[in-house]
Amino acid sequence: MDQVAIHEAMELQTISITKAGIQATLNARTSILAAANPTVFFFQFFLGGLITFDAHFFRYNVSLPPAILLRFHLVYVMIIGPDDRTDYHIAHHIVRVHRKHKEALSPAQLKRYTLHMRKL
């Protein structure tokens, strides 16, 4: 992942490209929806088991610098502890969706979700 390019796109809403000796700056006015997994397979907590969602928490658990994380309007954390039954159901759902070649979300549902998230 090119963190410099992502930071430029989120801060300046442009992307700089250099190809064949030509340098161009293109507009990048778009919404960004991102997902990240913890760097060590599960979220690590601090302060004697207390759950704290601060900048230190994200710096340790997700390999994105604060300058990029601060550009997001909303950061949503889903924490699912290690549980064999839950893991089985998630894996079963993923396999079932892909076997049927059925989309988890239709394009219309994804569009409605994106429009809803822009309002937040």
The amino acid present at 6, given as its one-letter code, is I
Per-residue pLDDT reduced to its tens digit, 95-111: 887 777 666 677 888 88
Locate the DSSP E strands across 4-116: 14-19, 22-27
Give the tens place of pLDDT for each residue, 26-73. Answer: 998 888 888 877 776 666 555 455 555 555 666 677 777 778 888 887
The predicted structure's pLDDT at residue 7: 85
Report the b/e string of 36-60 with b at 16+ CB within 10 A: eeeeeeebeeeeeeeeeeeeebbee
**H helical segments located in 40-106:** 55-61, 66-69, 84-99
Where are the domains positioned within the chain? 1-32, 33-79, 81-120
Question: How much is the pTM?
Answer: 0.51
Type and span of the H or E element at 70: none
How high is the pLDDT of residue 47?
Answer: 46
